[in-house]
Chain A
């Protein structure tokens, strides 16, 4: 009988071959392909690439068992720069392709690299369904709130009123909040981090890698050409201090040095002064809560002015993953039948129950 993994620590890479003790230690260099990255100077994608290449060695996985699958867009060039297996697919479809790959191959660590247009516009359907199924995929959503490769149109995460080449009078589309969207699809792991905050980014990537099932990591990423400074308010040290809502599991949710998130009389969340706050109303973050409501409420603290911006892991719960269950169903049937099908089994199938002989 095949066991469905329920997600103990490190479960994210269970079934994927690890390096042996005698194997040489991997370094960032091992994960860099010989292709020179061709993003614009100052693009946030460089920092993310460096963080991912720097972090992967610590997983201790065999490099040949790691696959990066991407869609279309600036960020989707990512696999070319990784010295792993990789596929640069078509616009929006990476989660679907990765779902097939992850289901067919238990021994692979499958990563999806996508952007806000790729994941949330043309590929929105595949994203929510991958999340709903909880396929064992790590989805890195580079969110720069703009279409970069097509040279600057508003994206599904661009703020309302955004003036771009395709919205000279201001965009009238309401943006998606990717974390809220993922939580609405009952994602088992949702996090938000920042391209330039290497430490935070790496912490989140580590947790995502350990998670069994779909991990959606939204990474705010600066596009220096078409949407420069989009996240400046939460990057600038002074400004950020007061704006970032720190999501740390098991701790009160703090905003800056002197504020906390607390429930008001109607149960809604509000940012209030820490001093004098009713301690019974201060929200203690519980990323492992079975019910996604609190995580969703926290995701709604974000507003267009970036007055408060939650960063960190919104949700991290254990649920059986799709691919594990698909394999378990097959494994159970095959085991019960005494092993893989033989020619005799095939002959039995072709005959069925209702035959007759001629001659």
Chain B
């Protein structure tokens, strides 16, 4: 065995790329788990094609998983990979452009056949023609190494080849000094019922690890020290799982049954998958015939006193719009989770975007205000879901939770909260008459509002004496009777708006991060741009730029001090993955000339890109006399 040199790094970005059938998402997941176990901070970005199995070996079929891990706080999955693992020529072709010169490439040469090269229009193998000279290239016959390692297993060649991702994982685990015990356990629980496949995967994993140890190809192995993180117990979590768990926690704490009305739609479907398993927590998941039925079932359940949720993406929201309006006017709690993706129409189903903000705000007929909350990171989806439930149940209103594809599938280490410290939000149903009529008799008035919240009673069927009818037609103030009276409609319209506006009283003020205290430039974001914006801010400050940073979690209503914050800075930059939807809302509401920086490439911003936006803004700012 050769003696290897050990080198310390502070941060690494690895991208695993291969055909969508090569198991790259699984490989990335496992490497993430190993890395988390070591105590590095991390962030991940899966990127996979919309087609389940695009033609093998083509660019369209390339699936990748990027992981950024470090000995310090990690805010993004990394702008560009340091290491690219390319399982075939298509993966190399599709990803090489993102790899800076000097980066490391591990290629599976077994797949670099004439046929596969031709599929992606390589006349000659780039591994052999010198075109990769600017990179550190490790050409490895990963497939045949795997098959050789499994020579004694009673499996077909095809089955043996399938384990090549585990070989690659073993090798990378060795290269970055990761333990493989977690992956071994994972494989045991996944393939417990198929001992041959299990043993083959374990053997391939070990073979990959040992290959690194023994081969001359790799002279150096790397260590990345654990990051300093808040004390606690951690796990890795994706945004979709965090949303699902947040809903379960909120329902549990409120003592309400959770009912999910759902129709499968990328990238929200995993919320349905996760919750459908959680019957132990009394969760009812109803996969129904369409998006409208999904929100309909949720509204029915909400009327019955359940915590009702419907998860979807932009096209689903479009279909649900009329029903959401019904929930607005009936004033029933409802949580709509919109995991945003590229639009319009089918758009880019597996890519991320923030372009449903205005749809959430205004995408219904009539004056139809709803509350809107947006999480900022995968782990934050848990807290944001709890907050959405708080608003929905307290104010008897639909609430949008605006996640996106990047948060939904991305993951990060999450400090697991203490259940005893989660916010308790008791729900009180109406149990008795609440008003006195003209004759002095006690009566129940379904639209008699709580003076503090303006919420109406949540009066569920099954309570004698409270029988009443609600619906989409305008209701008379207080009594809830049908009313076509002009003044009543004007009043009810304003009351519904005032109720939503009043939520601001329970929203914390926006906190501005401005360490120097003398910044005149503010970068303001919402949702999943938190990571890239925070990282860009860090980079800009390293360059001596004084920049303040704030992130809006409540999009409707806004935090009470938002206008004050905006007016306190000479220049406000608002980066969004849309064409300036929050910027439009800020300009309309506060008459502040915020500047939009927008990209709709289906991918998150890079921090370097945003840092340069800040640099440029700072240069312009210094020429401004105020």
Contacts and interface: CB of A to CB of B under 8 A. Distances in A.
A349 interface: yes
Contacts of B232: 357-359
A87 B303 contact: yes
A118 to B, nearest CB: 13
B27 to A, nearest CB: 16
A169 interface: no
**Chain A interface size range:** 35 or more
B326 A96 contact: no
Interface stretch (B56-64, B143-151, B463-471): B463-471
A317 to B, nearest CB: 22
B261 A126 contact: no
Interface string A69-93: 1001000000110111111111001
Nearest to A344: B419
Contact of A105 (B278, B304, B416, B468): B304
- Could you say which of B248, B288, B302, B465 has the most chain A C-beta atoms within 10 Å of its C-beta? B288
Contact of A97 (B182, B235, B280, B299): B299
B249 A350 contact: yes
A347 B419 contact: yes
Contacts of B465: 64
B306 to A, nearest CB: 5
Interface in B317-368: 322-323, 326, 330
Contact of B248 (A99, A343, A346): A346
A108 interface: yes
B297 A334 contact: no
Contacts of A344: 419
A99 to B, nearest CB: 5
B461 A65 contact: yes
Contacts of A355: 233-235, 416
Given A98-B300, A100-B261, A330 B282 contact: yes
A129 interface: yes
A90 B234 CA distance: 46
Nearest to B464: A64
A17 B283 CA distance: 24
B233 A357 contact: yes
Interface string B281-304: 111101011101100111111111
B462 interface: yes
Interface string B454-483: 000000011111111111110000000110
B478 to A, nearest CB: 16
B464 A97 contact: no
A93 B471 CA distance: 12
Nearest to A326: B284
B436 interface: no
- Could you say which of A62, A90, A350 has the most chain B C-beta atoms within 10 Å of its C-beta? A350
Contact of B304 (A86, A100, A126, A334): A100
B230 interface: yes
Interface in B264-280: 278-280
B259 A100 contact: yes
B308 interface: yes
A348 to B, nearest CB: 10
B236 interface: yes
Given A99-B296, A354-B33, A359-B230, A87 B330 contact: yes
Contact of B279 (A96, A329, A357): A329
Contact of B286 (A99, A350, A351): A99
B235 A352 contact: yes
Interface in A206-225: none
A168 interface: no
Interface in A283-313: none
A341 interface: yes
A345 B280 contact: yes
Nearest to B470: A87
A100 B286 contact: yes
A67 B234 CA distance: 47
A41 interface: no
Given A89-B471, A129-B288, A358 B229 contact: yes
A100 B467 contact: no
B281 A86 contact: no
B464 A104 contact: no
A340 B290 CA distance: 31
B619 interface: no
- Could you say which of A85, A104, A337 has the most chain B C-beta atoms within 10 Å of its C-beta? A104
Nearest to B278: A349
Nearest to A337: B280
Contacts of B303: 87, 97, 100-101
- Could you say which of A85, A86, A90 has the most chain B C-beta atoms within 10 Å of its C-beta? A85
Given A346-B419, A356-B37, A87 B249 contact: no
A357 B245 CA distance: 20
B445 to A, nearest CB: 13
B252 interface: yes
Nearest to A94: B296
Contact of A358 (B33, B39, B308): B39
A334 B471 contact: no
B123 interface: no
Contact of A99 (B300, B306, B420): B300
Given A99-B296, A347-B419, A358-B231, A330 B248 contact: no
B469 A79 contact: yes
B417 interface: yes
Given A64-B462, A126-B296, A103 B280 contact: no
Contacts of A105: 304-305, 461-462
A64 B463 contact: yes
B78 interface: no
A117 B613 CA distance: 56
B375 interface: no
Contacts of B322: 90
A129 B284 CA distance: 18
Contacts of A97: 296-297, 299-300, 303
B435 to A, nearest CB: 15
A17 B278 CA distance: 29
A125 interface: yes
Interface in B217-255: 226, 229-236, 245, 248-249, 252
Contact of A35 (B326, B415, B470, B481): B481
B290 A125 contact: yes
Contacts of A346: 248-249, 252, 281, 419
B614 interface: no
A108 B461 contact: yes
A329 B276 CA distance: 11
Nearest to B276: A329
B36 interface: yes
Given A103-B286, A350-B419, A33 B469 contact: yes
Interface string B404-421: 000000000001111110
Given A64-B466, A330-B282, A356-B39, A87 B471 contact: yes
- Could you say which of A17, A90, A98 has the most chain B C-beta atoms within 10 Å of its C-beta? A90
A39 B339 CA distance: 44
B462 A88 contact: no
B182 A354 contact: yes
A121 to B, nearest CB: 14
Given A97-B296, A129-B289, A346-B249, A104 B304 contact: yes
26 contacts: A17-B462, A65-B462, A80-B469, A87-B303, A89-B326, A101-B461, A104-B259, A104-B305, A105-B305, A107-B462, A125-B293, A326-B284, A330-B284, A333-B279, A334-B279, A345-B281, A346-B252, A346-B419, A347-B416, A349-B245, A349-B248, A350-B235, A350-B417, A354-B235, A355-B235, A359-B229
Given A84-B467, A346-B419, 16 more contacts: A67-B461, A85-B461, A85-B469, A87-B303, A90-B472, A93-B293, A96-B296, A100-B298, A104-B300, A105-B304, A330-B284, A343-B420, A346-B281, A347-B419, A350-B245, A354-B182
What 10 A-B pairs come out closest when comparing CB atoms?
A359-B231, A100-B300, A88-B471, A96-B296, A100-B297, A101-B300, A96-B293, A85-B461, A104-B301, A86-B469
